[in-house]
Amino acid sequence: MTVLSVRGLTVRFRMRESAPVRAVTDVSFDLAAGECLALVGESGCGKSVLASALLGLLPGNAETAGSALLAGAGDDPATDLIAADEAILARTVRGRRVGLVPQSPAAHLTPVRTVRAHLTETVRRLTGTRGRDALRTATEAAAARVSFPAGHLDRHPHELSGGLAQRAATALALVGDAPLLLADEPTTGLDRDLVDRTVDELRRHTGATRALLMITHDLAAAARIADRVAVMYAGRLVEIAEADAFFGTPGPRHPYARGLLDALPERAFRPVPGRPPELAALPAGCAFAARCAHADTACATQPPLTGGLACHHPHTAPADLVHPPQAAEAPGA
Amino acid sequence: MLELLSLTAGYDRRAPVVRDVTLTLAPGEAVGLLGPSGCGKSTLARVAALLHRPDSGRVVIDGEPARGYRHRAPRAQRTAFGVVFQQPRQSADPRLRLADLIAEPLRATGRPEGAADKAAETADTVGLGSDLLGRRPHEVSDGQLQRACLARALILRPRYLVCDEMTAMLDASTTAALVGVVEEYRRETGAALLAVGHDRVLLDRWCDRTVEWSELGSRHDGLATAKPPAEQSPSVR
Ligand code: SF4
The DSSP annotation for B105-118 comes to HHHHTT--TTHHHH
pLDDT digits 0-9 by tens, B175-195: 999 999 999 999 999 999 999
Q: Using the mean position of ligand 1's atoms as its centre, give its distance from the Cα of residue A290 in Å.
A: 9
Q: Do the Cβ atoms of A30 and A222 come closer than 8 Å?
A: no
Averaged confidence pLDDT in chain B: 89
Residue B218 scores a pLDDT above 70: no
Q: Is the pLDDT of residue A293 over 70?
A: yes
Conformation bin of residue B150: beta by default, left when phi > 0, alpha when psi is -120 to 50: alpha
Residue of A149 and A230 predicted with greater confidence: A230
pLDDT, position A252: 97
Task: Find the mean pLDDT for residues B134-162.
Answer: 94
What is the predicted pLDDT for the residue at A219? 94
Q: How many CB atoms lie within 10 A of CB A1?
A: 10
Confidence at A328, pLDDT banded by 50, 70, 90: very low
Chain segment A154-206, per-residue pLDDT in tens: 999 888 877 788 888 888 988 988 999 999 988 877 778 878 888 998 998 89
Q: Give the pLDDT confidence score for residue B50 in this predicted structure.
A: 96
Please state the rounded mean pLDDT for residues B160-180. 94
pLDDT at B146: 96
Contact residues on chain A for B201, CB-CB shorter than 8 A: 265-266
Query: pLDDT tier at B104 (50, 70, 90 boundaries)?
Result: very high
The confidence score (pLDDT) of residue A318 equals: 57
The lowest-confidence range among A44-48, A77-81, A286-290 is A44-48
- Flag the least confident range among A233-237, A240-244, A314-318: A314-318
Q: pTM for this one?
A: 0.85
- Bridge partners for A2 per DSSP: A32
pLDDT for the residue B228: 34
Cross-chain Cβ contact A43/B143 below 8 Å: yes
Judged against a pLDDT cut of 80, whether residue B227 lies above it is answered with no
Confidence of residue B197 (pLDDT cuts 50, 70, 90): very high
Which one-letter DSSP state was computed for residue A50? Answer: H
Point out the least confidently predicted range of A274-283, B145-154, B202-211. A274-283
One-letter amino acid for residue B53 of the chain: R
Ligand 1 atom closest to Cα of A314? Answer: 6
How many residues in chain A?
Answer: 333
Looking at chain A, the whole-number percentage of residues with pLDDT higher than 70 is 94
What is the distance between the alpha carbons of residues A87 and B211, in angstroms, rounded to a whole number? 54
pLDDT band at B166 (very low <50, low <70, confident <90, very high): very high
The number of the ligand 1 atom at minimal distance from the alpha carbon of A289 is 3
State how far residue A311 is from chain B, nearest Cα, in angstroms: 20
The per-residue pLDDT for B231 is 35
Over residues A296-313, the mean pLDDT reads: 96
Buried b (16+ CB within 10 A) or exposed e, A281-293: ebeebbbbbebbe
Inter-chain residue contact B176 with A190, CB threshold 8 Å: no
Residue A51 and residue A45 in contact, taking contact as beta carbons nearer than 8 Å:
no
Asked if pLDDT for residue B124 goes beyond 60, the answer is yes
Bigger pLDDT: A222 or A74?
A222
How many other C-beta atoms can be found within 10 angstroms of the C-beta atom of residue A76? 14
Q: Which long-range contacts (CB under 8 A, 24 or more apart) does A28-32 make?
A: A28/A66, A28/A237, A28/A305, A29/A230, A29/A237, A29/A240, A30/A2, A30/A4, A30/A5, A30/A6, A31/A2, A31/A3, A31/A4, A31/A5, A31/A6, A31/A180, A31/A211, A31/A213, A32/A1, A32/A2, A32/A3, A32/A211
The average pLDDT across A280-288 equals 95
Whether the per-residue pLDDT at B230 is higher than 70: the answer is: no
Averaged pLDDT, B22-26: 96
- Is the pLDDT confidence value at A63 over 50? yes
pLDDT of B196 > 80? The answer is yes
Q: What is the pLDDT of residues A85-132, one digit of tens each?
A: 999 999 899 999 999 988 777 667 888 899 999 999 999 999 989 999
Instruction: Judge whether A304 is closer than 8 Å to chain B, CB to CB.
Output: no
CB pair distance less than 8 Å for B174 and A161: no
Phi-psi region of A307 (alpha: psi -120 to 50; beta: other; left: phi over 0): left
Distance CA A230, CA A215 (A): 9
On the question of pLDDT at A146 being above 60, the answer is yes
pLDDT of residue A106: 67
Mean pLDDT within B206-216: 94
pLDDT band at residue A245, thresholds of 50, 70 and 90? Answer: very high
Cα separation, A63 vs A49, whole angstroms:
12
CA distance B124 to chain A (A): 12
DSSP H helices in chain A: 47-55, 86-88, 105-108, 115-127, 132-145, 162-174, 192-206, 219-225, 243-247, 255-262
User: Could you tell me the pLDDT band of residue B233, with boundaries at 50, 70 and 90?
Assistant: very low
The arithmetic mean of pLDDT across residues A249-257, rounded, is 96
Which chain B positions have a beta carbon within 8 Å of A278's beta carbon? 131
Distance A263 CA to ligand 1 centre (A): 18
Supply the residue whose CA is at minimum distance from atom 1 of ligand 1: A311
Q: Which of A243, A164, A236, A253 is nearest to A203 (CA)?
A: A243
| Residue A288 CB–ligand 1 contact under 6 Å | yes
Model confidence band, residue A330 (pLDDT cutoffs 50, 70, 90):
very low
DSSP states along A95-136:
TTTEEEE-S-HHHHS-TTS-HHHHHHHHHHHHH---SHHHHH
Helix (H) or strand (E) holding B92: none
pLDDT of A317 = 64
Angle at which helix A115-127 crosses helix A162-174, to 10 degrees, equals: 10
Where residue B232 falls among pLDDT bands split at 50, 70, 90? Answer: very low
Give the DSSP letter of residue A275. Answer: -
Q: How far apart (Å, rounded) are the C-alpha atoms in residues A267 and A23?
A: 30
| Residue of B165, B171, B203 for testing the chain A interface, max A β-carbons within 10 Å | B171
Query: What is the pLDDT confidence band of residue B226, given thresholds at 50, 70 and 90?
Result: very low
Mean residue pLDDT of chain A comes to 90
Q: Which residue out of A45, A229, A264, A267 would a mutagenesis test of the B interface target, given it has the greatest number of B Cβ atoms within 10 Å? A: A264
pLDDT at A75: 79
**Taking residues B106-135, what's their average pLDDT?**
91
pLDDT level of residue A209 (50, 70, 90 thresholds)? confident
- pLDDT the model gives residue A255: 97
The ranges assigned to domains in chain A are 2-89+180-322, 98-177
Does the pLDDT of residue B224 top 50, yes or no?
no
Structural domain A2-89+180-322, CATH architecture? 3-Layer(aba) Sandwich (3.40)
Q: Residue B219: its pLDDT value, please?
A: 40
